[in-house]
Amino acid sequence: MKYNPLTAEHLKNLQAMVAADRISTGASNLDLHSQDQSQHTAVRPEVVIWPMDRSEVSGIVRYANQNLIPVTGWGSGSSLEGNPIPVQKGIVLDFSQMNRIVAIREEDFQADVEPGVIYQDLNAKLRHKGLFFAPDPGARATLGGIIANNSSGTTTVRYGATKEHILRLTVVLASGEIIEMGTRASKTSSGYDLIHLFVGSEGTLGIVVAATVHLVGLPVEFSAAIVNFPDIQAAGKTVFKIMRSGFDPAALEILDPECVKLINKEKGFNLDISPTLFMEFHGPSKEQLAANMEIVLEVCKEEEGKLFQTGIGRAERNRLFEARHQLGEMIPRNHTGCKTMVVDVAVPISAYPEMIAFARAEADQTGIPAYIFSHSGDGNLHVVFAGKKGDKKEWATLDQVNEHMVYKALSLDGTATGEHGIGLGKRKYMQAEHGRSLEWMKKVKDLFDPNHILNPGKMFP
């Protein structure tokens, strides 16, 4: 697709659509919107605009479509696969000023939000009402970015990914048309399910300007435990057994010894340096949780689990989860002169022990610092490598390892990405994963965005 560069006339017309302090061609703003947290090459947009409402978004996108100017949505830039990098330049729409929590409908377990709302801020407001938004990607991600990416996180094993928590969407299409989809009802059998088409589409089909999200009640009681294992495969087998036993964990997180070392160093923990499984369960009473935990710990012992730490209090649990979420920041901070590459795959839970053992073997062969941690309860595995900047040989090795892990996951009937999305890094695996259905995805793209102005260069090989 041939796009038009931004001219002085284009800029003048765009400046007429928003207040002067909400449009910028300044170098610092362009640089801030040129790269996410991935290793992918930065590309500057030609202009950054901060819309305040859906009508502004509609007008800007309509103008861009008429003039073949690319448009890329921007949440907080926390994605890990180059998802919001404006590879064809053009316009970046930064939604940080569309950050209103419009309504909280606690009786219906719902909230109406704009795309720039940061999910931790939403949960801080909901806490006093005994509710929370369950998807928990960790970074200070916006609801718009979470929806675009179908994000998940530590609690997905119990509460599901983002797509399970979106009831209604308002979307601006490439033509500038504003459409609404979904209902406030908890379920519907009416018409095509457009919501699940747009959730996870990475802003390539339309731009979300409002959403109604489903909320869940804060757990009355919780029980957490830490168990150490002789190797990471034993920890993986334990996860499979716990899930097969019919328990309903709220979180099952595996950290390899390198992650544990880092958390001990940076956060002052005194965890045993070994493959570690962190478990959390929610329930109506302490007695029920204690009974369940006894059985779970017996399952752990079958795979030589040891050094059990149970009865972890809420404050310590929160501190551990905070440390787990901050691993993505700790790793580059402890490897100066390096960039990180995150491998993100997911497999059926029965294949998880095999997948995590394969990942460990692949990582060990590289000689490059590697950290394995995972949302193990839903078969989602991450490996973070710290490769030297500018070392072409090392990065060629990392690209090869990434490819090995993706194809291993696909061979196990898994996916190339469990939660980070396609973006730039996973495009080349779309054909292998989706086969002929990829052509139908392209037809859907052509239908909603015939000029391909929305987040171009993403999703498709």
SS3 of 448, please? helix
Residue 307: pLDDT band (50, 70, 90) is confident
Instruction: Say if residue 358's pLDDT is above 90.
Output: yes
Residue with structure tokens 């995972």?
374
Residues 107-128 have pLDDT tens digits of: 999 999 999 999 999 999 999 9
In sequence order, what are the residues at sequence separation of 6 or more whose Cβ sits closer than 8 angstroms to the Cβ of residue 386?
331, 332, 335, 338, 339, 340, 368, 369, 370
Instruction: Tell me which of 21-25, 297-301, 325-329, 370-374 is least confident.
Output: 325-329
Confidence of residue 285 (pLDDT cuts 50, 70, 90): confident
- What are 336-353's pLDDT values in tens digits? 999 999 999 999 999 999
Using CA atoms, how far apart are residues 132 and 74, in angstroms rounded to an integer? 24
- pLDDT of 387: 95
pLDDT at 310: 85
Nearest CA among 93, 10, 71 for reference residue 453: 71
- Does the pLDDT at position 428 exceed 90? yes
**What integer pLDDT is reported at residue 221 of this predicted model?**
87
pLDDT score at 184: 95
Cα separation, 370 vs 338, whole angstroms: 12
**In the predicted structure, residue 313 carries a pLDDT above the cut 90:** no
Residue 315's pLDDT is what? Answer: 83
Which of the following CATH numbers is that of domain 101-217: 3.30.300.130, 3.40.50.2300, 3.40.1180.10, 3.30.465.10? 3.30.465.10
Mean pLDDT of 63-80: 96
The percentage of residues in the chain with a pLDDT greater than 70, rounded to a whole number, is 100
Average pLDDT over residues 84-89: 98
pLDDT at 289 over 90: no
Please tell me the predicted confidence (pLDDT) of residue 393.
94
pLDDT score, position 206: 98
pTM of the complete model: 0.93
Q: What is the band of 412 on the pLDDT scale with cuts at 50, 70, 90? A: very high
Q: What's the rounded mean pLDDT across residues 27-36?
A: 97
96 pLDDT band (50/70/90 cuts)? Answer: very high
pLDDT (mean) for 128-140: 91
pLDDT at res. 246:
82
What's 221-322's CATH class? alpha beta
Q: Where are the domains of the chain?
A: 101-217, 221-322, 328-422
Fold of 328-422: Alpha-Beta Plaits (3.30.70)
pLDDT at 364: 94
Residue 334: the pLDDT is 95
Contact 137, 152 (CB under 8 A): yes
DSSP 291-341: HHHHHHHHHHHHTT-EEEEE---HHHHHHHHHHHHTHHHHHHHTSTTEEEE
Q: What is the mean pLDDT of the chain?
A: 94
> Contact at 8 Å (CB) between 454 and 177?
no
pLDDT at residue 359 greater than cutoff 90: yes
Domains 101-217 and 221-322 equal at CATH topology level: no
Of the CA atoms within 13 Å of residue 63, those in its CB half-sphere come to 18
